[in-house]
Copies of this chain bind each other. A is one copy, B any other.
Amino acid sequence: MWANQRFKRVLAVSFDYGQRHDVELKAAQTICRELDVPHETIQIPLLSQLTKNALTDRSVAIDAGHPEGANPYSRLPSTFVDGRNAVFLLTAAIYAKQRGIADLVTGVCQTDYSGYPDCRAPFIKSMQKTLRLAMEYPFRIHTPLMDLTKAETVQLMQKLGGIELIKNTHTCYAGTRPACGKCPACLLRLKGFKEAGVKDPIKYE
């Protein structure tokens, strides 16, 4: 909705990287249909082929916090997929340039920073520069949620008149519907709605 109000033409892409929570792909499709925005899902089998993490591998448990030694190379949580946002943005940039589009909008947010380095502003800034240099194209990466708390994101949605769409959103990392209500993503979402004083319309277990 943010992009719809700013740009004449909006295309939406989702990425299927073998995530447990692939219900988010259907949620994106439903929301885009209601907004009359063309939506495409791009297959990225590479991420699950190359990395071991809790989001694509059911044999890896989802960490509640940042346990020491969860990841063999650092203390990042087991839900961190190495290079995920870099792969998403690079793919989206190639996709966009082919269509004559230079503006990329992503929902990354550093305030709810769960230990994911690729959600922070310095990464996005560097990524934008890299994309421009790689393809000689004036890419701009927009991050309207970067510095918002989850409560402010809910409030932004209200302001944009999109509160009705909230029932179609998906957040839970476990990928269950009703949502698990216990994973880090669910807990963050519930806290955000509570602080915004808005009732979360999705169902929890």
Residues of chain A whose beta carbon lies under 8 Å from any beta carbon of chain B: 42, 44, 46-47, 50-52, 72-74, 76, 82-83, 85-87, 90-91, 93-95, 97-98, 100, 117-118, 120, 122-123, 126-127, 129-131, 133-137
A193 CB, nearest partner CB in chain B, Å: 30
- Contact of A133 (CB < 8 Å), options: B47, B118, B137: B118
A108 CB to closest chain B CB (Å) equals 11
Residue in B91, B118, B135 whose beta carbon sits within 8 Å of that of A118 in the complex: B135
Residue of B50, B74, B126 touching A137 (CB-CB under 8 A) = B74
Complex Cα gap A118–B132 (Å): 10
10 A-B pairs with least C-beta separation: A123-B133, A86-B134, A126-B130, A83-B94, A130-B130, A117-B136, A118-B134, A50-B94, A126-B129, A82-B94
Q: Is the CB of A91 within 8 A of B133?
A: no
Instruction: Please determine whether B51 and A86 come into contact, CB atoms closer than 8 angstroms.
Output: no
Q: Report A56 CB to chain B, min CB distance, Å.
A: 13
A21 to B178, CA, bound (A): 50
Determine whether the beta carbon of B134 is less than 8 Å from that of A91: no
> Can you name the residue of chain B whose Cβ is closest to the Cβ of A44?
B46
Q: Report the minimal beta-carbon distance from A69 to chain B, rounded to whole angstroms.
A: 14
Q: Which of A52, A94, A95, A98 has the most CB of B within 10 A?
A: A94
Given contacts A130-B126, A136-B76, A137-B73, contact A42 B46 (CB under 8 A): yes
